[in-house]
Amino acid sequence: MDPRGTKREAEKTEVAEPRNKLPRPAPSLPTDPALYSGPFPFYRRPSELGCFSLDAQRQYHGDARALRYYSPPPTNGPGPNFDLRDGYPDRYQPRDEEVQERLDHLLCWLLEHRGRLEGGPGWLAEAIVTWRGHLTKLLTTPYERQEGWQLAASRFQGTLYLSEVETPNARAQRLARPPLLRELMYMGYKFEQYMCADKPGSSPDPSGEVNTNVAFCSVLRSRLGSHPLLFSGEVDCTDPQAPSTQPPTCYVELKTSKEMHSPGQWRSFYRHKLLKWWAQSFLPGVPNVVAGFRNPEGFVSSLETFPTMKMFEYVRNDRDGWNPSVCMNFCAAFLSFAQSTVVQDDPRLVHLFSWEPGGPVTVSVHRDAPYAFLPIWYVEAMTQDLPSPPKTPSPK
């Protein structure tokens, strides 16, 4: 037998170390696109496991009550004339961004459905659980020049959980957000109000308030390379007229962007914005992004549909463009890096992965507050679930 023992034994000895001793941080992971230019990795077609809704008070409901229905203006009409500034700021209820929600809503869903997860009883123990937005940031990392990120990782009952931590820089920017940027954020939500109805077949009602607490979230299962994934992401609407009503292929992502007039503006749009749109919609398998182009006065006068699977065509021949293979290969490499770095199974232990543009991903190790993110209610409920050792039969 190999005197070094198996990997599992090595993990066991690690767990047996004194609790106050933190594991040594791992080496770093490079992010240079040239290192990830191989063939496109395996990515399992995402399937929807379920959904949940958040209401106007940001309360969780394990159903589709917040789902809206795609209802674009008629194509034979005069075209849209949406005033995206209408209702700002008097009919605007923005979500409180000081509240750090972490994975909590997804964990609520998981707790509700843990007994009947597709993939069998052992599937979750091998999986990575996170938000779609966190994976999107990983996909775009090789090309990102502006914003860094931090991801906290904890292993619990085999499962690796990844939860974003707001960087000090991102927090400073959020607290100093200029009024114009706040209005731009509102305009994106307002566009959704012009394009969505509350019931299939009915018309949008842009007279109400824009409340960004309300959200419909899809919970999806996929696999990237050897990594099973369970992730959730917000969905703007479903298209009752879609060729297939099977989620996620019936979902539509809505975006706004400023009107463009020169080839240079279009090129920049394809290189930067389209990359983010592609990453965000490719992961959950959303087939189309519908964009409203707004003029400097804040009116949308034209709509364009960008099929997710055709977005790369716009940059395929641009030497400064992006490549989907690089994005997915880097994401797969990061997930392997995280899986091999976080070996100790302990919901209070956190490996914090940090990245700033131009550098590699680095790791630091922490215990408990402020980085631990798996709530006690979740840990306790999942621990009570463990099969108890078989009772010895009482003598007859």
Q: pLDDT (tens digit, 9 = 90+) per residue, 336-367?
A: 999 999 999 999 999 999 999 999 999 999 99
Q: What are phi and psi of 254, to 5 degrees?
A: -110, 135
- The secondary structure element, H or E, covering residue 321 is none
Dihedral (Cα; 61, 98, 130, 285), 10-degree rounding: 70
Buried b (16+ CB within 10 A) or exposed e, 330-346: bbbbbbebbbebbeebb
Cis peptide upstream of residue 39 (ω within 30 degrees of 0)? no
**pLDDT digit string (tens) for 63-85?**
999 999 999 999 888 989 999 99
Cis peptide upstream of residue 284 (ω within 30 degrees of 0)? no
**pLDDT digit string (tens) for 269-287?**
999 999 999 999 999 999 9
Q: What is the pLDDT of residue 22?
A: 79
**pLDDT digit string (tens) for 195-204?**
999 999 999 9
Cis peptide upstream of residue 390 (ω within 30 degrees of 0)? no
Strand partners for 153: 162, 351
How far is the C-alpha of 280 from the C-alpha of 285, rounded, in Å?
A: 9
Average pLDDT rounded to a whole number, residues 233-254:
98
**pLDDT digit string (tens) for 70-127?**
999 998 889 899 999 999 999 999 999 999 999 999 999 999 999 999 998 899 999 9
**pLDDT confidence tier of residue 8, bands split at 50, 70 and 90:** very low
Q: What is the mean pLDDT of the chain?
A: 93
**pLDDT digit string (tens) for 144-202?**
999 999 999 999 999 999 999 999 999 999 999 999 999 999 999 999 999 999 999 99
Quote the tokens at residue 310: 């055709």
**pLDDT digit string (tens) for 364-387?**
999 999 999 999 999 999 999 877
The conformation of residue 247, written as its DSSP 8-state character, comes to T
Average pLDDT rounded to a whole number, residues 198-222:
98
